[in-house]
Amino acid sequence: MRRILITGAAGQIGSELTPALRAAFGADNVLATDLRADLDKSCGGGPTAVLDCGDGQALAALVERHRADTIYHLAALLSAVAERRPQDAWRVNMGCLVTVLEVARQKGCAVFHPSSIGAFGPTTPRDRTPQDTIQRPTSMYGVTKVAGELLCDYYHLRYGVDVRGVRFPGIISNVAPPGGGTTDYAVDIYYQAVAHGRYTCYLKPGTFLDMMYMPDALRAAIEVMEADPKRLVHRNAFNVAAMSFAPEDIAAAIRKRLPDFTMDHTVDPVRQAIADSWPRSMDDSAARVEWGWKPRFDLEAMTDDMLRVLTERKRRGELRVG
Ligand code: SER
């Protein structure tokens, strides 16, 4: 049975991956860590610790105390925040990653590291983006993601660290908000639709991006770590895809269920430029062949589920809209 330490456990992915890993491996086998002290509330039963994962000594001490053999390293700044604070983004996204990899090397841990569609750039083929292709991103987020992919490969090749990962598309979820990404609109639109029946989108119509519903993202993160290493030709940064849509497509899917819903656009040039430099859809055949990746949610199934959950939350008076 794995003994897991998660960094960034209170974030968008962590707050759902923590309970998923606890369900799969046993609550006591999963130590949730985050900078935030209110961690206990966000990740249910099981051990927690406040941790700055850039502090290698503190991380190593927790790995030892918990007898962790696997680190899910989720702490990172997303693309729009990274563009506002590029130096912080380098410090957090790269500094923490190298610290985690060093601790993993010294303590013999496996590592999961999420990369992103952000690892691609304007010279990358944008449709059916191949697994192995040009990666010259123009955002700081993208720079840290490509560098992170390479660093993970290096730690595997040089030191044999079992580090694996996927390139996540935009992730849509209804537990913790993403906070500071370019794809966040596809989360916010559901909250605003349920709360107010209208949404102002910061991306232009026609801006296609790859997206994925959280339950699929959680499965991808768990399944890639459980994959038979003998089948892996790639190791880090597997393209994983589920659906590709533009703002008007998600608005239309919502309108089918909430006919009065309306959307307009006030374009944010920073996030629009980032989105325009990312793939419209990724080819995830390497993940499908090498470890059996297959998404379960498309736009329709995701919209049914998001609206069901958020409507129920509104009925109970528990819908919090930013
Ligand atoms: N969802 C992320 C972002 O928009 C991309 O990985 O920054």
Residue 29: per-residue pLDDT: 97
Mean pLDDT of the chain: 96
Asked whether residue 322 carries a pLDDT value surpassing 80, the answer given is no
For atom 2 of ligand 1, the residue with the nearest CA is 181
Three-class SS string for 18-55? HHHHHHHHCHHHEEEEECCCCHHHHCCCCCEEECCCCC
Residue 69 is assigned to a structural domain of this protein: yes
Whether residues 28 and 84 share a domain: the answer is: yes
- Encode pLDDT of 75-101 as tens digits: 999 999 999 999 999 999 999 999 999
Q: What spacing in Å lies between the alpha carbon of 316 and ligand 1's midpoint? A: 30
Asked whether residue 21 carries a pLDDT value surpassing 80, the answer given is yes
Give the mutation target among 138, 166, 184, 278 for probing the ligand 1 site: most ligand atoms within 8 A of CB.
Answer: 184
Q: Which residues of 150-178 are buried (b: 16+ CB within 10 A; e: fewer)?
A: ebbbebbeeeebbbbbbbbbbbbbbebbb
Residue 39: per-residue pLDDT: 76
| Mean pLDDT computed over 193-208 | 97
Whether residues 133 and 202 share a domain: the answer is: no
- Encode pLDDT of 141-159 as tens digits: 999 999 999 999 999 999 9
Whether residues 137 and 276 share a domain: the answer is: no
For atom 3 of ligand 1, the residue with the nearest CA is 181
Question: How far apart are alpha carbons 56 and 107 in whole angstroms?
Answer: 12
| Mean pLDDT computed over 89-118 | 98
108: which 2 tokens? Answer: 């013999």
Phi-psi domain of 270 (left: phi exceeds 0; alpha: psi -120 through 50; beta: other): alpha
Q: Which atom of ligand 1 is nearest to the CA of 141?
A: 7
- Encode pLDDT of 248-277 as tens digits: 999 999 999 999 999 999 999 999 999 999
For atom 6 of ligand 1, the residue with the nearest CA is 116
Structural domain range at position 205: 173-211+242-280+296-315
Q: What spacing in Å lies between the alpha carbon of 176 and ligand 1's midpoint? A: 14
Residue type (1 letter), 234? H
Residue 44: per-residue pLDDT: 65
Residue 43: per-residue pLDDT: 64
Q: What spacing in Å lies between the alpha carbon of 106 and ligand 1's midpoint? A: 31
Check if the beta carbon of residue 58 is closer than 8 Å to that of residue 52: yes
Residue type (1 letter), 80? A
Residue 289 is assigned to a structural domain of this protein: no
Q: What spacing in Å lies between the alpha carbon of 179 and ligand 1's midpoint? A: 9
Residue 45: per-residue pLDDT: 84
Whether residues 276 and 311 share a domain: the answer is: yes
**What is the pTM assigned to this prediction?**
0.96
Ligand 1 is surrounded, with C-beta below 6 A, by 78-79, 116-118, 141, 168, 170, 181-183
Q: Which atom of ligand 1 is nearest to the CA of 78?
A: 7
Residue 49 is assigned to a structural domain of this protein: yes
Structural domains in the chain (count):
2
Query: Could you list the active site residues?
Result: 141
Asked whether residue 289 carries a pLDDT value surpassing 80, the answer given is yes
| Mean pLDDT computed over 195-199 | 96
- Encode pLDDT of 31-82 as tens digits: 999 998 777 665 668 999 999 999 999 999 999 999 999 999 999 999 999 9
| Mean pLDDT computed over 196-213 | 98
Q: What is the CATH number of the domain that holds 156?
A: 3.40.50.720
Whether residues 24 and 59 share a domain: the answer is: yes
